[in-house]
Structure 1
Amino acid sequence: MTDFRDPFDAIKDHPFDDALSQRYLVYALSTITARSLPDLRDGLKPVHRRLLWAMRLLRMEPAGASPDVLVANPARNTTSYKKCARVVGDVIGKYHPHGDTSVYDAMVRLAQDFSLRTPLVDGQGNFGNIDGDNAAAMRYTEARLTQAAADLMAGLDEGTVDFRPTYNGEDEEPEVFPGLFPNLLANGASGIAVGMATSIPPHNVAELIDAASLLIDNPDAEHADLMQIVRGPDFPTGGVLVDNAAIISEAYATGRGSFRTRARWHKEDGGRGTWVAVVTQIPFQVQKSKLIEQIAALINDKKLPILADVRDESDAEIRIVIEPRARTVDPDVLMDSLFRLTDLENRFPLNLNVLDATRTPRVLGLKTVLVEWLRHQIDVLVRRARHRLDKITARMELLDGYIIAYLNLDRVIEIIRTEDEPKLVMMEEFQLTDRQAEAILNMRLRSLRKLEEMELRREHAELLKERDDLIKLVESPTRQRTRLKKDLADLRKRYSPDSDFGKRRTLVEEAGPAREIPLEAMIEREPITVILSERGWIRAMSGHRDLAAADTLKFKEGDGPKIAFHAQTTDKLLLATSSGRIFTLGADKLPGGRGFGDPVRSLVDMDDQGEIVTLFPASMGGELLLAASDGRGFVAAVADVIAETRKGKQVVNVRAGARLAIVRKIGAEADSVAVVGENRKLLVFPLVEMPRMARGQGVQMQRYRDGGLSDAVTFRMSDGLSWTMGGGSGRTRTEADMTPWRVARGAAGRMPPVGFPRDNRF
């Protein structure tokens, strides 16, 4: 009878949050311990370790690899490249059940000399470039291991590390690599797990070996002693490390921090005073193409006026040519501006979060990382020695049997020829072990010529001496440290700082933060004469022209001069409108003096913003007296009214029916305000009674029954009030005693002194 079961009988009730948290915890632990964080001992993540292991089994060792790293069966050891697709196939089929794209991407990174300080894969074909271009498909590229990878895997066949079954149980893979190459710090790592991440920059191998040797000699060495050797990261793309020594030391002491790096550049003279800046090294993990796009955007957006052009003249070496706007530009000012605005300067984070020998994630300092790594290497050294001891013991057992067979060769041959069970007879007659008797029986006849007593005893003595040395090594921690230091010294010769490959690439040179360069420093300072017409057309003529001759210039029919003044190309001009909005113009961006200029409305967005009240150069650090036609006003700092956009700033909130009428600079020594109304009443009051504001309506300066404000000005009371007389004389009159008109702010005032201008303008 068929058993029909309700599938809902197998459903169990669990709280949703418990079920979700348990499953997410499993995922998080898997991500942390088996995907994203590197192992402290070999500096590899599982995917990288499996890639290198698969390449080793495919006999893809480098040319000239030392014999101890080669797989047994030397006849199959070759130095030829093999297709990357073959490697990726083996990895995902045997060891790493994930997508082929991610595995190939990991392999590509191991081959990029701009990503790894010491590449572990020697690629042949297109493996991408520093511009950010992708590698060719895996079916086109070929690869083999590098010497560094061979150094990292040296000793795998000598019982130095444990092996574990692969995911399907059909093969084995090493849990960690035993080699002496300090890959964790030499090549660095980066990764994002769940709730934690790691970011380790690459370092100079010789410096790491020297620091490790110091800890072997003096395990109690201070952190400061290590920092005298490990000067900081050594990026594959070079650059300049510009942080001070204290910041670098603190980052390595705690395992957390960041390093500020800059591109390396120099100035090249082009003759006749011209020059260009040439960038030869860029910060780590910055794509050159994106960097050039950033610099080009500054030129297109006119955000860096002193920059004229950028060219990429790179071939095998990086060469980015930066051309200034003029020969008078300061090279340091130009480069400081680029450091601020582009990735020519960036920060690389340090987060030394790694898995220790117990697979526990920990954030460690430099000394702790080196100490733990040395402890692993001591363990590898002892395990290798014990493995060799086992081999020697097994070989010496056979040699003892061969010597007995040599001394009794005729009897051995007779036993083999006559006895039905020669093995048992030999074991009983000559006191042989089963393994010795089996080895004698398995010998070929041609091997009999090798059975010379002296040769056998010589090999036996050599093995005996080697065994004694290994026993002393295993039992003596001092000998272990001495041997490890010697092995490190031999490894250092391969990565010597005197060689092109081993020398430090990143220059350590302290520098302050990139300065924020003011606009005036970016623009070539030249005198100009600014002319604004009645209809709002503006132009800038080179040089300081005679302002009285402005009437002789050409204007459109029905137009004429309204405002003319002298300025510099580095000035900012303030344009005030009757609606109370103030716009900012760059004097260097004004149209030239040829023709009629351009409408000022095309330079700023002042549509429906009222009529132009005034235009004048801003004096940074100064103050302005702002007043509306209804007699309300306030004092504003120039810095508060300068706008950064075309839309300007709404500074004066004029009331309905009123308009902004007065925008006057306040003299440095001014202490009083004089106000005259359309009713020809004059009022003087102290300047301190005017509020300082960045925006608003202000306060009532003068009270009117009818009409409004005509003019206002600031002056120093001790000097009196001066005004220009009418007529052609141009004479100025001064009223020294202003006491009769000095009252509180907001009063109506009284008639002005005799001779005050009839147009009610100061």
Structure 2
Amino acid sequence: MANDTYTNPGEHIDQTSFSDALSERYLAYALSTITSRSLPDVRDGLKPVHRRLLFAMRQLKLDPGQGFKKSARVVGDVMGKFHPHGDAAIYDAMVRLAQEFAMRYRLVDGQGNFGNIDGDNAAAMRYTEARMTEVARLLLDGIDEDSVDFRPTYDGESEEPVLLPAGFPNLLANGAQGIAVGMATSIPPHNVIELADASLHLIKHPNASIDTLMQYVKGPDFPTGGLLVEPADSIRDAYATGRGGFRVRARWEIEKEKGGGWQIVVTEIPYQVQKSRLIERLAEMLNAKKLPVLADIRDESAEDLRIVLEPKSRRLEPEIVMESLFKLSDLETRVPLNLNVLDATGRPGVMDLRGALNAWLAHRQVVLQRRAHFRLGKIAHRLEVLEGYLIVYLNLDEVIAIIRESEHPRDALIARFDLTETQANAILDMRLRSLRRLEEMALRTERDNLVAEQADLQNLLANEDLQWKKIATEIKDMKDSFAKHDRRRTTLADAPEIDFDPTEILVEREPITIICSAKGWIRAMKGHQELDSEFKFKEGDGPGLVLHAETTDKILLFADNGRFYTLAGDRLPRGRGFGEPVSLLTDLPADIEIITLLRGVAGKMLVAASTGHGLIVDMQSAIAQTRSGKQILNLPGDARAVACCMVDGDMVASVGVNRKLLAFPISELPEMTRGRGVILQRFKDGGLADVTVYHSDKGLSWQAGGGRTRTETDMSNWIAKRAGAGKLPPTGFPRPAKFT
């Protein structure tokens, strides 16, 4: 039988697209994450879970001077009353508030194992105990005086504070980290004394510049200390925009040993770096031979941090050893700054340093005003009661008679003496012992004191200057309480600019003679051999290039494709064999010829192509870091590089295949890092054969054969402007045309 009350469920279904439903729900989740989980409030610097932890501890009377209670008790109260999340997440948040290496100013005083800088976890909540610190008391001070708004808890059974009165600049003093949906926050901790000084200055000058505030706030102050090596300009930009970062290094010192040895001892590591993970990573790199400067790493930490680093050789400079480690490990890290917080209206946004401090000061003014109004209400109520008490003393016999004889004494008292209901109730609740004469005098004194306090509070609320003076006094008192024992832990320093290759600093400096055959086989012989000595070569091969150098040198090979290839002097094949092909040590193509070998020292070079083009290049910019070399001279078509020489003089001499010689000032050539260059000499046929640089006062020299050198001191016949055709050289100039 059909049921007449049946209705079709489909009639109550709202039709909507899946994308709209998904975006609506994801937006709600994102907003909840941003406002209720990840971003701190700019006024008290706390996230909801931290705020609820402190409020629950206050309800449990875990004040700094009281005894400890089990952490499980605190976590249970927070989870049951305020925070509808898991106990593990709540306890983890509580543990961090108690860790002195995580918090610059701890909010929870922990007893038991709350973890360590090695990264070990805290003991279970049933084993640890906690209470609030003095900093937490400052954050909560005045919360019972209507200083902040309250809202219903998630189950509606009680209320929780929307934020705390915050008598401590917690946002910047302790910092915050959080990742929300589409945004994140990262605020490093700072020194509260510096923040107090900056706040006092802002009270007088609310629009003070960032440069002025940085005279007080020097930079972050991490609980683990370390060295802040970020440049001052970068720190200023970070504070001015609310975004940036800070380079932080470990603090280290040198310990001398007997016999002239030494070792490095690291006493402080960067913020949020786990010591055990740092040492583990260093050990892995040492075993993989990626730390050529170290021989051993030891962790000798007890209560104080102590990491011992033994250098591989006492010849090393400690600064170079540490610079190498800073580049390769977490002994140097970058701490980001993203001052993304919720403002007084609950909206997320990035603030600068001044904005964050002014927001805290504005909150302190609101708290001061609300506490003053609350106190005025209490005073008004007490004065009303006192006036009723004084009426009793003036009409004591009549009041007693009314109370004894009247059926409704309260109404009778109100009618007879024109009392308020509050006064009548207070009189009826009065104890007999209060009817003494001395008590009457005390009441009159109390009334006079309350009237005076009432006038002061009304004057305070009417005068903004008095309000800021009161706030400044509170900040000074807070600063004085920390000034006795607090000091800056992170030192500001400059990072030394040391240019080095950590893989080369252990190379023993020795003289070598580098021999490159005509077919490109290269080797290094110990010591400086005579350059015209007869060296052995493979059958079918012969002499090529010979160079005196040292094992610590970079050796530049200039090839006819216009590229420079770089070899390390200590890595060239040794011995009296034939060496190895250059193509095995670099990516030199088989059809490319080597034009010259040079030591990679400070100086400039002149390179030239067969087309007659050339340029000047700094030798250091030609050093390549890869096997493929570095292209310096751009070559069109079938052109080839033909010459490379050091710039040691004020004149350039070029000679073509047609034996035409041209000389011109070197100032007419540009210095470039790469390019085709400019025309040195023009040719109708042939092309450029060689180029050199000479001093005009010494003349031009060339090899005349038989080991003889000829010098032409009067070059006036061949000096012309760059890009000329040149003239035939002096009699006896070599064939083919070459200067060396």
Tell me whether the two structures share a fold, i.e. TM-score over 0.5: yes
Q: Is the alpha carbon distance of 1:339 and 1:393 closer, same or farther for their aligned partners in structure 2, counting shifts above 3 Å? A: same
Q: Is the alpha carbon distance of 1:644 and 1:430 closer, same or farther for their aligned partners in structure 2, counting shifts above 3 Å? A: same
Q: Structure 1 unaligned runs (5+)?
A: 65-77
- Structure-to-structure mapping, 1:289-328, within 5 angstroms: 311-322=298-309, 327=314
The one of 92, 96, 104 aligned to 1:105:
92
8 Å Cα contact 2:555-2:569 kept in structure 1: yes
State the match for 1:177 in structure 2: 164
Tell me, in whole angstroms, the C-alpha distance in 1 between the residues paired with 2:78 and 2:273: 30
8 Å Cα contact 1:604-1:647 kept in structure 2: no
Q: Is the alpha carbon distance of 1:134 and 1:547 closer, same or farther for their aligned partners in structure 2, counting shifts above 3 Å? A: farther
- Structure-to-structure mapping, 1:278-289, within 5 angstroms: 278-288=265-275
Letter in 1 for 2:67: T
8 Å Cα contact 1:577-1:609 kept in structure 2: no
Letter in 2 for 1:665: C
Q: 3-state DSSP class of the match of 1:185?
A: helix
8 Å Cα contact 1:185-1:203 kept in structure 2: yes
State the match for 2:568 in structure 1: 586
8 Å Cα contact 1:405-1:412 kept in structure 2: no
Q: Is the alpha carbon distance of 1:514 and 1:294 closer, same or farther for their aligned partners in structure 2, counting shifts above 3 Å? A: farther
- Structure-to-structure mapping, 1:543-554, within 5 angstroms: 543-545=527-529
After superposition, give the CA deviation of every residue in 1:148-192 in whole Å (9 maximum; x if it has no partner).
Answer: 111211222233222110122122101111242221222122334
8 Å Cα contact 1:112-1:127 kept in structure 2: yes
After superposition, give the CA deviation of every residue in 1:91-119 in whole Å (9 maximum; x if it has no partner).
Answer: 33332233444433332322222222101
CA shift, 1:373, in A, is 2.8
8 Å Cα contact 1:723-1:734 kept in structure 2: no
Report the TM-score, using the length of structure 2 for normalisation.
Answer: 0.75
State the match for 1:70 in structure 2: none
The one of 148, 168, 190 aligned to 2:177:
190
Tell me, in whole angstroms, the C-alpha distance in 2 between the residues paired with 1:332 and 1:639: 23
CA shift, 1:47, in A, is 1.9
Q: 3-state DSSP class of the match of 1:387?
A: helix
Tell me, in whole angstroms, the C-alpha distance in 2 between the residues paired with 1:737 and 1:451: 126
Q: Is the alpha carbon distance of 1:7 and 1:596 closer, same or farther for their aligned partners in structure 2, counting shifts above 3 Å? A: farther
8 Å Cα contact 1:404-1:430 kept in structure 2: no
State the match for 2:47 in structure 1: 45
Letter in 2 for 1:538: R
CA shift, 1:335, in A, is 4.9
State the match for 2:702 in structure 1: 722
Number of aligned residue pairs: 716
State the match for 1:381 in structure 2: 368
Q: Structure 2 unaligned runs (5+)?
A: none
Identity of aligned residues (%): 46
8 Å Cα contact 1:576-1:615 kept in structure 2: yes
Tell me, in whole angstroms, the C-alpha distance in 2 between the residues paired with 1:551 and 1:569: 20
Tell me, in whole angstroms, the C-alpha distance in 1 between the residues paired with 2:60 and 2:522: 78
Tell me, in whole angstroms, the C-alpha distance in 2 between the residues paired with 1:430 and 1:715: 119
Q: 3-state DSSP class of the match of 1:44?
A: coil
State the match for 1:493 in structure 2: 480
State the match for 1:67 in structure 2: none
Tell me, in whole angstroms, the C-alpha distance in 2 between the residues paired with 1:625 and 1:584: 16
After superposition, give the CA deviation of every residue in 1:111-150 in whole Å (9 maximum; x if it has no partner).
Answer: 2222221011223344344444544554554432212111
Q: Is the alpha carbon distance of 1:230 and 1:562 closer, same or farther for their aligned partners in structure 2, counting shifts above 3 Å? A: closer
Instruction: Determine whether 1:475 maps to 2:475.
Output: no
After superposition, give the CA deviation of every residue in 1:166-225 in whole Å (9 maximum; x if it has no partner).
Answer: 122122101111242221222122334455544433222233334444555676877666
State the match for 2:226 in structure 1: 239
Tell me, in whole angstroms, the C-alpha distance in 1 between the residues paired with 2:233 and 2:325: 26
Instruction: Determine whether 1:80 maps to 2:68.
Output: yes
The one of 476, 488, 507 aligned to 2:491:
507
Q: 3-state DSSP class of the match of 2:100?
A: coil
8 Å Cα contact 1:715-1:721 kept in structure 2: no
Q: Is the alpha carbon distance of 1:550 and 1:286 closer, same or farther for their aligned partners in structure 2, counting shifts above 3 Å? A: farther
The RMSD of aligned alpha carbons is: 5.5
Tell me, in whole angstroms, the C-alpha distance in 1 between the residues paired with 2:167 and 2:506: 56
State the match for 2:585 in structure 1: 604
CA shift, 1:537, in A, is 6.8
The one of 206, 213, 216 aligned to 1:229:
216
State the match for 1:538 in structure 2: 523
The one of 552, 555, 559 aligned to 1:573:
555
After superposition, give the CA deviation of every residue in 1:210-263 in whole Å (9 maximum; x if it has no partner).
Answer: 444455567687766654433433222223445566665565455555545444
The one of 69, 92, 108 aligned to 1:121:
108
Q: Is the alpha carbon distance of 1:458 and 1:257 closer, same or farther for their aligned partners in structure 2, counting shifts above 3 Å? A: farther
CA shift, 1:52, in A, is 1.4
8 Å Cα contact 1:382-1:474 kept in structure 2: no
Tell me, in whole angstroms, the C-alpha distance in 2 between the residues paired with 1:654 and 1:394: 97
- Structure-to-structure mapping, 1:404-419, within 5 angstroms: 404=392
The one of 135, 152, 155 aligned to 1:168:
155
- Structure-to-structure mapping, 1:560-709, within 5 angstroms: 564-575=546-557, 583-590=565-572, 599=580, 604=585, 609=590, 613=594, 616-623=598-605, 637=617, 642-648=623-629, 665=645, 668-669=648-649, 671-674=652-655
CA shift, 1:36, in A, is 3.1
CA shift, 1:596, in A, is 6.1
